[in-house]
Amino acid sequence: MKSPVLYTYWRSSSSFRVRFALNVKRVAYESRPVNLLKGEQRSETYLATNPNGFVPCLVIDDEPVVESVAIIELLDDLIASPKLFPSDPIARARVRALVEAINSGVQPLQNLSVLDHVSSDTKARTEWAQHFIKRGLNVFESMMRVNADRGVSGPFAYGETLTAADIFLVPQLYASKRFGVDLAPFPRLKAAGERAAATDAAIAAAPENQSDAPPDEKRTK
């Protein structure tokens, strides 16, 4: 496999997922920042690579692949270890359910273009985002509780090892913080998210550690 190219934006939670997965899989990649605030995702050059006009897009062996779930599943198929989706079918379905609670249950509703459509008023945008983030986190927390009742234990979102559920949870917690959502009502996902966020793979993928992050957001050592 040639070194892949990732079209990314530092604060995009969907890009954060793919950066995190690439790091877990120890794949070196080239970052090509797309500035969403400047509308670069709608530029002719970018649309030629990804006609959907969203980040992330991973170009792998000259093939552009879009949608973070599809990209991460592809990485899991191409690079056997560590596995992000368990091979046991039931465990796999449960990890996939946690992934979708965020991927389809929250992120589309806090996306920039949706917020722009909802209102230009910051307070109204924040209230909208907070409502759907809390609803989605509640679903994720309930699923974790039910999984624990079924015997799933460990420090991560699904068991003893990091899975795709953590890859989606960590960026969502970053976005939740940005929108001022209190995580106290969600102790299970908060603990799992903090555990996964402390891994080297997550730290290197974090928004503040990206080359396109504004200087005042960059982590100071």
Ligand X SMILES: N[C@@H](CCC(=O)N[C@@H](CS)C(=O)NCC(=O)O)C(=O)O
**168 contacts ligand X (rule: CB under 6 A):** no
The C-alpha angle with vertex 213 and arms to 104 and 45, in degrees rounded to 5, equals 70
Omega before residue 89 within 30° of 0, cis: no
Beta bridge partners of 66: 57
Nearest distance, CB of residue 153 and ligand X, angstroms:
29
Q: What letter does residue 158 receive in the DSSP assignment?
A: T
- Give me the 65-84 binding string for ligand X, x by CB under 6 A, dash otherwise: --xx----------------
Nearest distance, CB of residue 207 and ligand X, angstroms:
11
- Residue closer to ligand X, measured from CB, 34 or 159: 34
What letters, b where the CB count within 10 A reaches 16 and e where it falls short, cover 172-201? bbbbbeebebebeebebbbebbebbbebeb
- Give me the 112-131 binding string for ligand X, x by CB under 6 A, dash otherwise: xx------------------
Binder of ligand X out of 7, 20, 29, 54 (CB under 6 A)? 54
Nearest distance, CB of residue 103 and ligand X, angstroms:
6
Residue 5 — φ and ψ, nearest 5°? -110, 130
Binding segment for ligand X (CB under 6 A), chosen from 9-17, 87-95, 154-162, 178-186, is 9-17
**Beta carbons of 57 and 64 less than 8 angstroms apart:** yes
In the region spanning residues 15 to 44, those forming contacts with ligand X, defined by CB under 6 A, are 36, 41
- Residue closer to ligand X, measured from CB, 27 or 152: 27
Binding segment for ligand X (CB under 6 A), chosen from 12-20, 93-101, 123-131, 144-152, is 12-20
Distance between CA atoms of residues 73 and 92, nearest Å: 12
Binding segment for ligand X (CB under 6 A), chosen from 49-57, 87-95, 181-189, 200-208, is 49-57
The β-bridge relationship of strands 30-33 and 63-66 is unpaired
Distance between CA atoms of residues 34 and 53, nearest Å: 10
- Residue closer to ligand X, measured from CB, 56 or 105: 56
The two three-digit tokens of residue 90, written as one number: 């039931």
Count interface residues toward ligand X (CB under 6 A).
14
The C-alpha angle with vertex 49 and arms to 45 and 54, in degrees rounded to 5, equals 90
Binder of ligand X out of 55, 157, 169, 196 (CB under 6 A)? 55
- Binding residues for ligand X, rule: CB under 6 A, are 12-14, 36, 41, 54-56, 67-68, 103, 111-113
